[in-house]
Chains A and B, each alone.
Chain A
Amino acid sequence: MIVRILGEGQYHVPDNEVDALNALDDAVEKAVTMADEPTFRNALAALLGHVRAQGTPLPAEELVPSDAVLPAEDASVEQVKELLTDEGMIPG
């Protein structure tokens, strides 16, 4: 699957990593819901770390949509909430 980390670009991650990624992603989502910043920091770092470790960066000239988009490493809980609701993010 193709995963984008905002601010970093896209990674090609082997399909057999999906379960592991989903588990890590659940932890992030939970921390966002609870607005628990420290837990969120660790969970996000773990998720992004896994993508970087298991994935290979996609060549810049490759033009494919991602299956998943992840926030940047330094994003805060608030920013992630905004990303999930913000309307004006994508130039059209």
Chain B
Amino acid sequence: MKRMSMIFRAKANNALDRAEDPRETLDYSYQRQLELLQKVRRGVADVATSRKRLELQLAQLQQQADKLEGQGRQALGAGREDLAREALTRRSGLQQQIADLQAQHAQLQAEEEKLTLASQRLQAKVEAFRTKKETIKATYTAAEAQTRIGEAFSGISEEMGDVGLAIQRAEDKTQSLQARSGAIDELLASGALDDPTGTSKDDITAELDRISSTGDVELELQRLKGELGSAPAPQAIEGSTAPGGSAVGQVNVQKEGQA
């Protein structure tokens, strides 16, 4: 702890020693402070943007999880336990992602709060520095100013060093998160998750649609048969036992073999 404060002090002193008239250093330093303040504000904005994007993704993932749960229920209602199981399995995968992202969101929010506070602290110190520098420049000769400047300078350097580290941290966090966000966007864009444009259907939706439309057709068939007064058909049972994919494949292979 002694060593670390020494580092801050040494840097401030070095900067002062380089200047011919320490009063010039004051103006230069003030410019640097304003630049850093700008950078911190941009940093806060960047973190906020990342946080908002994360919130959007979380909402999308949650929506998707809810939809899968509904589909699971629907599939179970249709007597398709296999389909329901598939939907719930996917949902649990999503839940994991959601929990993970929620943790990241909390971290980012904490980072944003810290950075906001740091930026407020720096702003107050920059303001104090500006007042002090004007007083020093107006009141003291170069020689006298030296010691006064040293203190103000050390104080502000330290704050700048601290806030500089805070920005760096926030930048690192948002960068790793942005890579993560890209991966989730890809996931959202792929068939595995909901397509917000509704143009492509994932396989569970397609299967559920097929079940319900098959059901509708069967009902319609029964109705028509009823109207025609024919017997309720054993046909319907035959129709509902759809041939499996592998059976079709075998038939094809046999045909090809024969040809």
- In terms of DSSP, what is the predominant structure of the interface of chain A? loop
Given A25-B1, A63-B155, A65-B155, answer yes or no on A92-B128 (Cβ-Cβ < 8 Å). no
Give A69 to B132 CA distance when docked, in angstroms. Answer: 23
Stretch at the interface among B49-57, B97-105, B118-126, B221-229: B118-126
CB-defined contacts of A53 to chain B, threshold 8 Å: none
Stretch at the interface among B86-94, B160-168, B236-244, B250-258: B160-168
Given A7-B166, A25-B1, answer yes or no on A65-B128 (Cβ-Cβ < 8 Å). no
CB-defined contacts of B129 to chain A, threshold 8 Å: 63
CB-defined contacts of A63 to chain B, threshold 8 Å: 125, 128-129, 132, 151-152, 155-156
B residues 63-122 touching A (CB-CB < 8 Å): 114, 117-118, 120-121
- In terms of DSSP, what is the predominant structure of the interface of chain B? helix
Rounded to whole Å, the gap between the CB of B133 and the closest CB of chain A is 10
Q: Out of B4, B114, B160, B164, name the residue touching A84 (CB < 8 Å).
A: B4
Given A7-B114, A63-B125, answer yes or no on A91-B151 (Cβ-Cβ < 8 Å). no
Rounded to whole Å, the gap between the CB of A80 and the closest CB of chain B is 9
Chain B residue with the shortest CB-CB distance to A89: B161
Q: Out of B5, B124, B154, B158, name the residue touching A60 (CB < 8 Å).
A: B124
Count of chain B residues with a beta carbon within 8 Å of a chain A beta carbon: 39
Query: Contact: B155 with A64, CB < 8 Å?
Result: yes
Query: Contact: B162 with A7, CB < 8 Å?
Result: yes
Rounded to whole Å, the gap between the CB of B28 and the closest CB of chain A is 9
Count of chain A residues with a beta carbon within 8 Å of a chain B beta carbon: 27
- List chain B positions with a Cβ less than 8 A from chain A: 1-5, 7-9, 11-12, 14-15, 32, 36, 114, 117-118, 120-121, 124-125, 127-129, 132, 151-152, 154-158, 160-162, 164-166, 169
- List chain A positions with a Cβ less than 8 A from chain B: 4, 6-7, 9, 21, 25, 28-29, 59-71, 83-84, 89-92
Q: Could you jot down 17 A-B contacts, CB within 8 Å?
A: A6-B166, A9-B162, A60-B120, A61-B125, A61-B127, A63-B151, A63-B152, A63-B155, A64-B154, A65-B12, A70-B4, A89-B161, A89-B164, A90-B8, A90-B157, A90-B164, A92-B32
